[in-house]
Chains A and B, each alone.
Chain A
């Protein structure tokens, strides 16, 4: 099946620093999504990308759909304590079904 490799696994940063994480796939995706999961909660959609090369921002978050359609990155600028959580990339392939494949997540810790 489609494999998503997300890195880094975890990050410990100081408040105010910028953060970058990425996902790569062994195969092509039609859609890339980035979710954030707080402890004890379900994932919340942050950004959705639908076209190769697309660059989309949502406040301090910026994500890009790689031109090869096999990768995506998420940047968070000027991190704040509430950015703490697990960030997941997810990809949707060409199959007719509607399942999404998730990366293993990046655990972000922000020190005030």
Chain B
């Protein structure tokens, strides 16, 4: 009875390195959403994916950030050449279908860039 699984829970990267954040949606959920939360702030939408497709990436920074949700395996949020400003908590949520607003969130990955 696994919920949305994110790993790692904590990730430390030096400036210039790459960060790869993984999200396995709930069983039966084919829609995945990524959000970023800065300290003392709410969650900011980044990207919405369905299996093998990016549906909406309007919240993704234009450079260095990419996301995928392959046919097999977890969704990946990739941040290349990380900078200190990328330090945040990154949350993944999933839903069983489009239009279901009861997203289930994972526990997040806390990225620290040193």
Contact = CB atoms under 8 A, between A and B. Distances in A.
A44 B105 contact: yes
Interface string A84-112: 00001010100001111111110000000
A40 interface: yes
B106 A98 contact: no
B6 to A, nearest CB: 8
Given A41-B108, A42-B91, A99-B56, A48 B102 contact: yes
Interface in B1-35: 4, 31, 33, 35
A104 B41 contact: yes
B108 A98 contact: no
Given A42-B91, A88-B43, A104-B42, A97 B105 contact: no
Given A97-B55, A98-B55, A43 B107 contact: no
A42 B48 contact: no
B105 A99 contact: no
A100 B103 contact: yes
A80 to B, nearest CB: 23
B101 A33 contact: yes
Nearest to A91: B101
A73 to B, nearest CB: 17
A103 to B, nearest CB: 5
Nearest to B46: A99
B59 to A, nearest CB: 7
A9 to B, nearest CB: 9
A45 interface: yes
Contacts of A99: 33, 45, 48, 56, 58-59
A102 B43 contact: yes
Given A99-B56, A100-B101, A43 B33 contact: no
Given A33-B102, A90-B43, A102-B35, 4 more contacts: A33-B101, A97-B58, A98-B99, A104-B42
